[in-house]
Structure 1
Amino acid sequence: MKIEGITDVFFDLDHTLWDFDKNSALTFKTIFELNKIEVDIDMFLHHYIIINFNYWKLFRDEKIDKEVLRFKRLNDTFMAINHPILPEIINKLSKDYIEHLTNYNYLYENTIEVLDYLKQKYRLHIISNGFHEVQNKKLENSNIQHYFKTVTNGESIGVKKPNPKIFNHALDCAKTSAKTSIMIGDGFEADIIGAMNVGMEVIFFGTNKENSEVEVKQISNLIQLKNYL
């Protein structure tokens, strides 16, 4: 069923449009080769994905800063696979990771088709918790920046999703209202609950909801947005 009355569509970037896991895996392969780090990449990524998710939650909740996030997620992963690395090497890998991450810019299936479809009917925007300098490069290097009227990064305004301030700031920048806006993202607490709390319509992108008691519209492929918008 089509959702009526929407003028503005807000997207999360990582894990929603930009295929973070695939691009991140390719980046680690590159920087491990550059730094002559010999590990089982699949085992490393198996642990890293979980550890990174947990540290991002702490960062989102403002319990750690960017430097702690970037160091600890790598250090803890190497410890988890019993391959301890000197702190100076961790710092080098952390820097290299950020430098090379935006060299890979795979998007989720049907991203371009859906953005082309939506831009004919709506104003499109980004709300991201990612780091300002990295997120902008992702948009530029994947050649999708031109679809979006505004881009709001949590780092730039000092708060992160699900804090209502970031949603209200994004709405103000877009010169629109919550009642005519919809948020699409993979983070159930950050994107979906956060947007609902300011009165926005929502669509959850993914298969695993952090709180299954809350019923919302849900898609597993971006092409399914055509069913609602």
Structure 2
Amino acid sequence: MLKAVVFDLDGTLLNRDESLKIFIEQQYKRLSEWLLHIPKDKYIKRFIELDNRGYVWKDKVYKQLINEFGIEEITWEELLQDYLSYFKENCVPFSNLISMLEELKRNNIQIGMITNGKGQFQMDNIKALDINKYTDTILISEWEGIKKPDPKIFKAALEKLDVSAKESIFVGDHPEKDVKAAQSIGMKTIWKKGDQWGNVKADFIVDDLEEIPQIINQLNSEPY
């Protein structure tokens, strides 16, 4: 019997690619006094390239942008602070996020979250999506001192939810840090399909979050 669903955040619940595009365009407008010598499309394109889907922290990204574009009147620290302050205002959820979480709660399924990243930054994004009220536990790597794919962070989430690996399922978009890592401790897995990876060996694959409650219901109706 499945009692809990544990989610990744970026690329699973938060449409990070879309959020980032909106944020960087807004940043360019906000700071245009210092960035106007750079064509907007060029600034946006290069930021997204350097960001590498969030796997490069923004201090390095902004240092590189300042170098490449000869930005002189604003520092990388100020650009980074702008990111920390304003990204949360541009958070875009994937379709059917809230209705999916509400259905899980109606079915008495516990909800957990494990995300890599900076503690307050990720919590601000979670609150911006208005999903913290649905979660029973949230683990953010900076605050936990461990990050995915370390099995300890998955085990810590299950301990907080008071469920076993067999009573839970993990939903994520990364084949190694989410799917394989959760499988390594005996959790079932759902891969939230994305364009960047193919042939991911998860127990289930979904295109849309609305499919998740159906999977849980299906598993819980099977005889044990």
Which category of TM-score, normalised to the shorter sequence, fits these structures?
0.7 to 0.9
Distance 1:45 1:187, change over 3 A: farther
Aligned length: 212
Q: What secondary structure is seen at the aligned counterpart in 1 of 2:169?
A: strand
Name 1:113's counterpart in structure 2.
99
The 1:228/1:55 distance shift into structure 2, 3 A limit, reads closer
Q: Could you say which residue in structure 2 is the equivalent of 1:190?
A: 177
SS in 2 for 1:228: helix
Deviations 1:21-46 (CA, angstroms, capped at 9, x unpaired): 22222222222222221344444444
2:128 matches 1:129: no
Question: Does the residue aligned with 2:24 lie in a helix, a strand or coil?
Answer: helix
User: Is 1:174 matched with 2:161?
Assistant: yes
Aligned equivalent of 2:62: 74
TM-score normalised over the length of structure 1: 0.82
Give distance in 2, aligned partners of 1:108 and 1:211.
20
**Preserved CA contact (<8 Å) 1:189 1:210:** no
Q: Distance in 2 between matches of 1:170 and 1:222?
A: 21
Indicate if the aligned counterparts of 2:179 and 2:191 stay in contact, CA closer than 8 A.
Answer: yes
Q: Which letter does structure 1 place at the counterpart of 2:7?
A: F
Distance 2:79 2:70 in 1: 13
Aligned to 1:64: none
Partner Cα separation in structure 1 for residue 40 and residue 6 of structure 2: 34
CA RMSD across the alignment: 2.3
1:101 corresponds in structure 2 to: 87
| Shift of residue 225, structure 1, vs aligned partner | 1.6
Separation of aligned partners in 1, 2:18 and 2:200: 30
Partner of 2:70: 84
1:62 paired residue number: none
How far, CA to CA, are the matches of 1:54 and 1:27 in structure 2?
A: 14
**Can you give the 5+ residue segments of structure 2 that lack an aligned partner in the other structure?**
217-224
Gaps of 5+ in 1: 60-68
> Between the two proteins, what is the percent identity of the paired residues?
25
Q: Distance in 2 between matches of 1:223 and 1:41?
A: 36
Paired with 2:25 and 2:196, the residues of 1 have a C-alpha distance of 30
TM-score of the aligned structures, taking structure 2 as reference length: 0.84
**Given the alignment, which residue of 28, 31, 34 partners 1:35?**
31
1:201-226: per-residue Cα shift (whole Å, max 9, x none)?
10000234647363542111111223
Shift, 1:181, TM fit: 0.8
Please say which structure displays the higher CA radius of gyration: 2
Contact 1:188–1:209 under 8 Å retained in 2: no
Letter in 2 for 1:221: D
Compared CA separation, residues 89 and 78, structure 1 to 2 (3 A): closer
Q: Which residue of 1 aligns with 2:48?
A: 49
CA distance 1:213–1:31, change in 2 (3 Å): closer
- Mark the CA change 1:74 to 1:160 in structure 2 (over 3 Å): closer, same or farther: same
CA shift at 1:192, angstroms?
0.8
Structure 1 counterpart of 2:13, from 13, 17, 20: 17
Aligned residue type for 1:110: N
Deviation at 1:141, TM superposition (A): 2.3
Determine the C-alpha separation between the residues in 2 that align with 1:142 and 1:201: 26
2: CA distance, partners of 1:40 / 1:220:
35
**1:142-170 C-alpha deviation (Å, 9 max, x unpaired):** 22111000000111111110111111111
